[in-house]
Structure 1
């Protein structure tokens, strides 16, 4: 008897990814433009400004890659994606890379056939409620039976179910397509709680008319390592995106900033810094790029620390502390392999 095989959505996406031919680096060079998948809008991370120009922490990674490969941080098309469409867009080849608050998980890496090139923000899932509810904890009996706004197609759906199961309480999910829609429903009273990554909660809260009327609860219920990703099977392109991110991180480690990079690029007594900026060695050639690729990437918006502080740091409306996203020499988790 002939067997009928039913393929799950993850497997189908993986097969689609396998059909996309390798050679993205050559495609981007020939096209003269990078196609970068981003969110539909998260303040501080990825959002058009009043003039329609995309800005943010994740946007800076896209622009750094465009500068490294094409010599122009504006040679880029930003493609807004939702939690549901982001993986299809990447697997199908509509976009060259995805830089959109996406969590690195085993199933996405293995079953969906994507390569996460690194982590640019270590996050965790949390909850936001209106201060008027009096709820102060995501483990309080007060949350039993609440309605929760949740973005579909995300790890937050599964984490939410795990959390309520672990505390022995029930909830009613209100599925939405985007973070903006979740905020709209939450503000309208359609749900009692809103859950997503804590960085996104902070961003949404900061942009509300009266942020003090809303509380981000103290519990962190998951690990959410967020970072850029590319398709499996195109290692040359994966290397370019990976080492562009590493260049931003290493620049902070070595004290290279937007203010001093021209001086540093003239040559120093630090061999790794010289290799990073292309005055020694042939690392650019190994990547299929020229010697100044990393210098251009760093020059767009500065090193990792500068990008963090200017978009989501303590001095911005988002107001996030570095925390575990401090560089490793300051007790954080942000760390790059050596440029050697």
Structure 2
């Protein structure tokens, strides 16, 4: 879900410049809490459970940062944001970081003055339809009504795809994923389009998921990841390298099961030692204790463990690793070295 590309760019940029004047790391430490912007609710990625506790793939990144900075994965205030409110919330300083399946684009990076700190999910936009519609390709959707979140790159990609294929559609504008789901199931639109991962997460909540199909076309590149404001490089580094720690740990075989043992033993792999703080001074460079990455990894394990627990093939979401496999397994996941 990839929204608000151009809306209020000058205003957002001005807010970002002001909010970044103070050091976010110092603010978070003084507050004793990380304010993390998330979606209004997308099961598997970010949604409150029956007890009101936020869970999900994006939530795990927020908790890992809070653990690294505050030694407490629960010291997080989750701030639900829509496609239209998320960028203003970040620019104004209402949130310290945004982890809301947001696409890294040129205009968001340059014009809106944000800094993407990495990619935690490689995605692409897809289409979901009821099986009884009898459609097997998005190219057969001429004249369809399409539920679409407004002010989004999804909206722009949709227009591009239909124009390129010389077919027409009628947009049904919606604000949140919950509203899209409600409208789609009520028959107000023939099609729901968003990131393929979002479609899988939404379909998993249906009473009969098998009655709905995600069409084969993927019509865009959607590199999703956490972002911060321009102008506060130290905070950007911290969020970036926390994500990199989760990715590197999986590559190096550091898991929730062996983390404590590896952190205590300072074994033979120098990069593992540097990652876990038993060698070198990487933590000091970030303004954090030597074991900052150990604390981040202790929350939900490495990237692979977080993926499998929240959105993997054994969950109702049922996503395969695909492009999100480690580079050593043919995927795109690749962290710079810890040295």
Query: TM-score normalised to the size of structure 1?
Result: 0.97
CA contact (8 A) 2:326 2:332 kept: yes
Q: What is the correspondence of 1:128-167 to structure 2 with a 5 Å cutoff?
A: 128-140=128-140, 143-167=141-165
- Counterpart of 2:280 in structure 1 is 281
Q: Report how far residue 186 of structure 1 moved.
A: 0.6
> Counterparts of 1:1-340 in structure 2 under 5 Å?
9-20=8-19, 21-140=21-140, 143-266=141-264, 267-340=266-339
Structure 1 residue matching 2:138: 3-state secondary structure: coil
What is the CA-CA distance between 1:103 and the residue it aligns to? 0.2
Q: Cα offset for 1:8?
A: 6.8
How far, CA to CA, are the matches of 2:10 and 2:156 in structure 1? 19
For structure 1, list consecutive stretches of 5 or more residues without a partner in the other structure.
Answer: 1-6
Q: Deviations over 1:169-200 (max 9, x none)?
A: 11111111101100100111111100000001
Q: In the TM superposition, what is the alpha-carbon distance from 1:22 to its structure 2 partner?
A: 3.2
CA–CA separation in structure 2 for the residues paired with 1:117 and 1:8: 22
SS of corresponding position for 1:262: helix
Aligned to 2:3: none
Separation (CA, whole Å) in 2 of partners of 1:8 and 1:68: 33
1:22 and 1:233 in contact (8 A); partners too? no
The root-mean-square deviation of aligned C-alpha atoms, in Å, is 0.9
Query: Equivalents in 1 of 2:297, 2:153: separation in Å?
Result: 31
Residue 3 of structure 1 aligns with which residue?
Answer: none
Counterparts of 1:80 and 1:188 in 2: how far apart (Å)?
25
After superposing on structure 2, the runs of 4+ consecutive aligned residues of structure 1 that deviate more than 2 Å are: none
Shift of 1:18: 1.0
Distance 1:62 1:154 in 2: 23
Measure the CA separation in 1 of the matches of 2:245 and 2:218. 30
Number of matched pairs: 332
Distance 2:14 2:32 in 1: 28
**Distance of 1:44 and 1:302 partners within structure 2:** 16
CA distance in 1, matches of 2:118, 2:155: 23
Task: Tell me if structure 2 keeps the 8 A contact 1:150–1:156.
Answer: yes
Write out per-residue CA displacement over residues 130-152 of structure 1, whole angstroms, 9 at most, x where no aligned residue.
11110110012xx1111100011
SS in 2 for 1:338: coil
- d(CA) in 1 for partners of 2:287 and 2:86? 27
**Counterpart Cα distance in 2 of 1:317 and 1:201:** 12
The aligned counterpart of 1:4 is: none
